[in-house]
Amino acid sequence: MINPRLLLPVLSLAVLVAAVFWLQPRAMSYVGVNLLFNLAVPIALATVAQMVIIMVGDIDLSMGAFVSLIACITAAILPENPALGWAMLAGCVLTYAALGALIEARQLPAIVVTLGMSFIWGGAAVLILPSPGGSSPAWLTAIMKAKPPLVPMAIIASVSIAAVAHLLIMRSGFGVRLRALGGNLRAVSRAGRSTVRLRAMAYAVAGVFAVLAGMALVGLTTSGDANIALRYTLLSIAGVILGGGEFTGGRVSPIGAVIGALTLTLAGSFLSFLRLSPDWQIGAQGAILILVLAARLLVRRAEKRA
Amino acid sequence: MASARPNTTGPEPVVILDGASKSFGALRALDHVDLRIDPGECLGLVGHNGAGKSTLVNLVTGQFAASEGRVIYPGAKDHRQAGIRAISQEGMLCPNLTVLENLQVVQRDLTGWSWRRLAARRIGAALDAIFPGHRIRPEMPVFDMTLAEQQMVEIAIGFAQGAHPARLVVLDEPTSSLDASISAQLLAHLRRFCAEGGAVVFISHMLGEVFEVADRIVVMRDGHIIADRAAKGFTRQGLVDAMGHVADESHEPSALRIRALGNRSDAILRTPEGVEARKGEIVGLAGLAGHGQAEALARFYLAQSSDWRSLAEPAVVFVAGDRKRDGVMPIWSIRRNLALAALGHLCRLGMVDRAAENALSADWQARIGIRTPDMANPILSLSGGNQQKVLFARALATTAAVVVMDDPMRGVDIGTKTEVYDMIRHEAAEGRTFLWYSTEMDEILNCDRVFVFRDGAISAELEGERITEANILAASFEFGDAA
Amino acid sequence: MRIHRAPWFWAWVAAFAAFLATWSISAGGGGGAALAVAALTFASFSVLTGLGQMLVITMGPGNVDLSIPATMTLAGTLSLKLMGEMTGPVWAIMLAGLVSALAVGACAGVVNFALIRLLRIPPIIATLSASFLYQSLAIWSNRGLRIKPPAALAEFATGRAILGIPNLALVALVISIGFWVALNRSGFGRRLSAIGQNPRAARLAGVPVARIMGTTYVTCAKMAALTGFLLACFSGGAALNMGAEFLLMSIAVTVIGGSSIAGGDSNVPGIWAGALFMYLIVSMLNSYGLGAGVRLLSTGVIIIAIVAVASGRKAQA
């Protein structure tokens, strides 16, 4: 029972991998693959976080700022004062949950609320780490830069992220109830469940994945910066879409989201291997997004006619 | 009355309504209703639009609290524990989930590691029991299923085993998207369910089905239960008569009002469904609510107007019935709301001519009688009836030759209605054509010609003397036996 | 007229308070005029982008233009490049620059709306992905060169011709008055407000929804382009990141100024109050010696508090 909606994301990733290996045969090695996909790990985590928000019908424009804040906490506070660091990370997750509750209870538009939050996360990040620096906790670097036999860490990490997210969101009863919120809000409240609680839970789950994204990023770069992950907002949204997710109706796929994140990371390398001017890197991302959405519209029209 | 029935020493009733009433603002949707449903009973519930069926159902299933009186679930603390399940018309599935996941949303005891297996077993068993030979797998996403399959899943969820077994299942038009053989399977299951001690409330416009499955029929009208007896006590004609206003013989035959509208071939408009109208004609769209009338009108209106161009003199205007969804601009004044459709007429060089706007709104305030000291007051300061008058004035203030009305008198007081009827008749006499979908019988009886809708298509076209309540009811309900 | 009921009243009060607070500590009371000039100049840019964004936000939930920064950069870059390569009378060069900037904006607006309408992409994603394209175009055409604007234009953008008021503020004021008239007196403004309150009801009342929405997205992009042009002239050349802060700023001034995020209710005076307030609060926190962190934090808290309170008011009505 393979989800047909995963076909397109898998196919595009496979084509891209083949193209990269063809252009750059040296990449076809343990080290090469690790290099190609290393930076995909935090992006994949942030994409899963964004996917949970999109799943309940909202959108998070503060993802990049939030991941940057987590990176600052991880780099500046966690190594010196682990207790305080962990407490702050937990506080960040709780704040996310509170945001979800606020949005549902007061029926606020998530775009504006998360936009406002991006100022707050950014401000907090600057306060914690005024200039780039800090260091990664040793255990974190050890995990992120581990060299397991046969399969590079980046692949193992991506697969485990996809597996955990899939089990939590797609398989567990808890995940089903969260998805129901995006599918049919009225049905959920008619079944006597608290939509405020469910939305808070969804935001908390997103917060946890975003925290992991920030920590993974520090594990790779070994330092923090208040602007380190700002582009994650756009990347995470694009990753969800590339992975077959829809903006409305709660139709998302965690495995697809991880694949989308890998595809986006790889697309960057591919374009540089093509010797395409780096000027066009961002534009290519935009064009890919538009093309995917246009293709999906055509497919849906064809389905409707059939 | 149900409560007056001798209390036999059988098992406890599933639910008792004791003088239950429900009001929405000034509208009393349910008026001191007594009803008792015992285990093993299969209750058919019939009535025309606005009779109070859905309100009654929502009270029984715990979605509304009674404004007056009580709803009692003997031996249980709430409707859920009492095993009361509802299968509603409006689609309560989450399309992004699979069949078994939809059960998870409704049932609380699907916890632990093997909840999927348990849910699959429950929903599979229910589907097998109700619809033997179905092709639905519990892992199928609802999104990819046909409408009929979705309906089958909703029904199966209603009957599925759970922490509190189903003791009373309320089905509101459950066969609307099922074909005859599947419907027959459902009806057979309902009889089996009742024979095993379950209770059912069955609402359908297919009277054949009601007779086939119900052992007791409750007829509602105007928020009251007006007949409640064994199904054997009714004939089909008797049932239809009971739903109508028998005392309404005073209704003047339409023949007296027949005006010179010209030949039927003079139609100035024709919708894809086959609704026709001549110049100056008031054409009614009748039938039970939700049988395609509103959609037909909306399609017609959208096809006649443009997303890109705004004409100073539109050909067609629309009067909304669902004011909140389709009509009122909530933050605007009465005046601005009134002038919206005529805006093209009121603009000079792109700027709104405020003097002309004031004159227009003052004129219509006087003509249609909007009760407000100042047209600059916010629209929401008006009563529902007066808001509706503003929407009428919005449409009539244009020069459009055709006025499309989507059940505009829903929840409007009788005084306003009379005033608006006069206005419509006057405008029709001046040559305007009205397409009027209404759920109220007395409005339909005032039309020159009536198209009755059933299942999205026209089931009868009535004109002149043939526009009677009996004919309309007969065309609204389907007499043929199920299967 | 109960002036304190006007949605922009409190925004103005806050802006004045921030002005006084900054003034009293900054230069012992001497720098009032300089502070006012700086505030008016920098607020002008926020006002110009904010007006466009406000138009889009007035169309109701889901409508927002995230391509403002990229459009600004692209228009600034291309118009300065054109002016740098042109020869001829100064007025012709200046006019060509302005027209080309507005044309770039119009194109961006058409592309945005085409994506929304034809591909049925939600406005957030449509304007976001389109902005990637604009950004790349800007990077590609800029090539890291910094072309200086014609001297006359630079002089105009930094000058104070009348009563010591910055020219930019006057430009923004004239355009604001135009927007106020369009929103409050014209048929377009009426129809826009109707769409924002209830697009379905607006369509059923004969409002040409597609035309109004298209006009709005194009206008918003043109405003971004004009701002980009002026900002490039003001700061002596187009920079690739020059629009960055105006994405959040344009939304923030709209919200702070009292326009309803639920749609249908726009507010031009509030945009000015919001823009001045946002600049002054930064100066105030700076002069108290507080850094960027506190500044950002308090901005975020203000935005969310305003949104939460304003929507609550809406819910009661």
- The pLDDT value recorded for residue B78 is 87
Which of A82-91, B202-211, B468-477 is most confident? A82-91
Please name the residues in contact with B382: beta carbons below 8 A apart, sequence gap of 6 or more.
B334, B370, B371, B372, B390
Distances, alpha carbon C284 to alpha carbons A90, A116, C26, C251, C280, in Å:
33, 20, 8, 21, 6
- The pLDDT value recorded for residue C261 is 77
- The pLDDT value recorded for residue B480 is 59
Please name the residues in contact with B407: beta carbons below 8 A apart, sequence gap of 6 or more.
B289, B293, B294, B321, B322, B437, B438, B439
Q: What is the domain-level CATH number for residue B86?
A: 3.40.50.300
Measured between CA atoms, the residue of chain C closest to residue A117 is C300
Percent of chain B with pLDDT strictly greater than 70: 92
Q: pTM of this prediction?
A: 0.83
More confident site: B190 or C293: B190
Among B243, B261, B295, which residue terminates a domain?
A: B243
Among candidate residues A129, A152, A153, A285, the one with its CA nearest the CA of residue A214: A129
ipTM of the complex: 0.88
When scoring A176, A177, A185, A188 by the number of chain B Cβ atoms within 10 A, the one with the most, hence best to mutate, is A176
Q: Which range is least confidently modeled, A230-239, A282-291, C307-316?
A: C307-316
Q: CA C63, C67, C69, C72: dihedral to nearest 10 degrees? A: -110
- The pLDDT value recorded for residue B10 is 62
- The pLDDT value recorded for residue C314 is 42
CA angle B151, B156, B158 (to 5 degrees): 100
**Which residues on chain A are in Cβ contact (under 8 Å) with B79?**
none
Q: Which range is least confidently modeled, A263-267, A299-303, B1-5, B8-12?
A: B1-5
Query: Alpha-carbon distance C55 to A191, whole Å?
Result: 40
Measured between CA atoms, the residue of chain C closest to residue B349 is C186
Residue B366 and residue B441 in one domain: yes
> Given an 8 Å threshold on Cβ–Cβ distance, is C133 in contact with A122?
no
- The pLDDT value recorded for residue B251 is 47
Q: What is the domain-level CATH number for residue C292?
A: 1.10.3470
> Given an 8 Å threshold on Cβ–Cβ distance, is B326 in contact with C200?
yes
- The pLDDT value recorded for residue C315 is 37
In a domain, B399, yes or no: yes
**Partner-chain residue, chosen from A1, A187, A192, that has the shortest CB–CB distance to B94:** A187
Mean pLDDT of all residues in A223-233: 88
Neighbours of chain C (3+ CB pairs under 8 A): A, B
Q: Could you tell me how far CA B412 lies from the centroid of its own chain?
A: 16
Residue B71 and residue B47 in one domain: yes
- The pLDDT value recorded for residue C144 is 65
In a domain, B473, yes or no: no
Residue B406 and residue B266 in one domain: yes
Task: Indicate if the pLDDT at residue A95 is higher than 60.
Answer: yes
DSSP code per residue over A29-42: SHHHHHHHHTTHHH
In a domain, B474, yes or no: no
Mean pLDDT of all residues in B260-267: 71
Among B191, B211, B243, which residue terminates a domain?
A: B243
Query: Alpha-carbon distance C100 to C96, whole Å?
Result: 6
Mean pLDDT of all residues in A60-78: 94
Neighbours of chain A (3+ CB pairs under 8 A): B, C
- The pLDDT value recorded for residue B245 is 62
> Given an 8 Å threshold on Cβ–Cβ distance, is A123 in contact with C293?
yes
> Given an 8 Å threshold on Cβ–Cβ distance, is A173 in contact with B110?
yes
| A95: helix, strand or coil | helix
Residues of A with CB under 8 A from a CB of B: 1, 171, 173, 176-177, 179-180, 182-184, 186-188, 190-193, 249-251
Q: Which range is least confidently modeled, A111-125, A228-242, A248-262, B302-316?
A: B302-316
Residue B48 and residue B178 in one domain: yes
- The pLDDT value recorded for residue C236 is 85
Residue B27 and residue B108 in one domain: yes
Percent of chain B with pLDDT strictly greater than 90: 38
Distances, alpha carbon C164 to alpha carbons C36, C37, C46, in Å:
10, 8, 20
- The pLDDT value recorded for residue B250 is 45
Residue B288 and residue B237 in one domain: no
**Which residues on chain B are in Cβ contact (under 8 Å) with C203?**
302, 305, 307
Chain B 14-53, residues with CB within 8 Å of chain A CB atoms: none
Task: Indicate if the pLDDT at residue B1 is higher than 50.
Answer: no
- The pLDDT value recorded for residue B162 is 86
Query: Alpha-carbon distance A59 to A55, whole Å?
Result: 9
Summarised one tens digit per residue, pLDDT across range C156-206 is 888 887 888 899 999 999 999 999 999 999 999 999 999 999 999 999 999
Distance from CA of C110 to the nearest CA of A (A): 15
Summarised one tens digit per residue, pLDDT across range A257-282 is 999 999 988 887 787 777 777 778 77
Q: Give CATH for domain A36-293.
A: 1.10.3470
Query: Alpha-carbon distance C275 to C48, whole Å?
Result: 10
> Given an 8 Å threshold on Cβ–Cβ distance, is B308 in contact with C208?
yes
> Given an 8 Å threshold on Cβ–Cβ distance, is B94 in contact with A171?
no
Mean pLDDT of all residues in B157-166: 90
Query: Which parts of chain C have pLDDT scores under 70?
Result: 1-7, 26-30, 144, 310-317
> Given an 8 Å threshold on Cβ–Cβ distance, is C299 in contact with A123?
yes
Residue B228 and residue B258 in one domain: no
Distance from CA of B369 to the nearest CA of A (A): 37
Tokens of B301: 């209106």
Tokens of A280: 């066009």
- The pLDDT value recorded for residue A26 is 84
Q: How many Cβ atoms sit within 10 Å of the Cβ of residue C110?
A: 14
- The pLDDT value recorded for residue C128 is 87
Number of domains in chain C: 1
Q: Are C233 and C153 in contact (CB under 8 A)?
A: yes
**Residue span of the structural domain in which B335 resides:** 252-467
**Partner-chain residue, chosen from B63, B80, B111, that has the shortest CB–CB distance to A173:** B111
C69 phi-psi bin (left φ>0, alpha ψ -120 to 50, beta other): alpha
List chain A domain ranges. 36-293
Query: Alpha-carbon distance C236 to C147, whole Å?
Result: 8
> Given an 8 Å threshold on Cβ–Cβ distance, is B327 in contact with C194?
no
Number of domains in chain B: 2
Q: How many Cβ atoms sit within 10 Å of the Cβ of residue A158?
A: 22
Tokens of B455: 């299942």
Q: Which residues pair with B219 in a beta bridge?
A: B46, B227
Tokens of B272: 């894809």
Residue B224 and residue B275 in one domain: no
More confident site: C15 or B286: B286
Q: CA B211, B214, B216, B217: dihedral to nearest 10 degrees? A: -60
Summarised one tens digit per residue, pLDDT across range A192-211 is 889 999 999 999 999 999 99
- The pLDDT value recorded for residue A19 is 87
Show the 3-state SS of chain B: CHHHCCCCCCCCCCEEEEEEEEEECCEEEEEEEEEEECCCCEEEEECCCCCCHHHHHHHHCCCCCCCEEEEECCCCCCCCCCCEEEECCCCCCCCCCEHHHHHHHHCCCCCCCCHHHHHHHHHHHHHHHHCCCCCCCCCCEHHHCCHHHHHHHHHHHHHCCCCCCCCEEEEECCCCCCCHHHHHHHHHHHHHHHHCCCEEEEECCEHHHHHHHCCEEEEEECCEEEEEEEHHHCCHHHHHHHHCCCCHHHCCCHHHHCCCCCCHHHCCEECCCCCEECCCCEEEEECCCCCCHHHHHHHHHHHHCCCCCCCCCCCEEEECCCHHHHHCCCCCEHHHHHHCCCHHHHEECCEECHHHHHHHHHHHHHHHCCCCCCCCCEHHHCCHHHHHHHHHHHHHCCCCCEEEEECCCCCCCHHHHHHHHHHHHHHHHCCCEEEEECCCHHHHCCCCEEEEEECCEEEEEEEHHHCCHHHHHHHHCECCCCC
Among candidate residues B450, B79, B103, the one with its CA nearest the CA of residue B275: B450
Summarised one tens digit per residue, pLDDT across range B77-92 is 888 889 999 888 777 8
What's the longest Cα–Cα distance across chain A? 62
**Residue span of the structural domain in which C299 resides:** 3-24+31-316
Please name the residues in contact with C93: beta carbons below 8 A apart, sequence gap of 6 or more.
C83, C86, C87, C150
In a domain, B480, yes or no: no
Mean pLDDT of all residues in A160-184: 94
In a domain, B472, yes or no: no
Tokens of B230: 């064994």
Mean pLDDT of all residues in A79-86: 93
Residue B404 and residue B314 in one domain: yes
> Given an 8 Å threshold on Cβ–Cβ distance, is A191 in contact with B106?
yes
Among B243, B270, B291, which residue terminates a domain?
A: B243
Q: How many Cβ atoms sit within 10 Å of the Cβ of residue C178?
A: 12
Query: Alpha-carbon distance C283 to C285, whole Å?
Result: 6
Mean pLDDT of all residues in A231-255: 88
- The sign of the dihedral angle between the CA atoms of C297, C298, C301, C307 is negative
Residue B223 and residue B282 in one domain: no
Q: Which residues pair with B86 in a beta bridge?
A: B170
Distances, alpha carbon B371 to alpha carbons B240, B377, B386, B391, in Å:
39, 11, 7, 14
Summarised one tens digit per residue, pLDDT across range B47-85 is 887 788 888 998 998 888 888 889 999 988 888 889 999
More confident site: B362 or C36: B362
Residues of A with CB under 8 A from a CB of C: 59, 102, 106-109, 111-113, 115-127, 130, 234, 237-238, 241, 247-248, 277, 279-287, 289-290, 293-294, 297
Summarised one tens digit per residue, pLDDT across range B401-416 is 999 999 888 767 777 7
Mean pLDDT of all residues in B217-230: 89
Residue B125 exposure: Cα atoms within 13 Å on the Cβ side = 10
Among candidate residues B449, B358, B341, the one with its CA nearest the CA of residue B403: B341
Percent of chain A with pLDDT strictly greater than 70: 98
Residue B156 and residue B25 in one domain: yes
- The pLDDT value recorded for residue B292 is 86
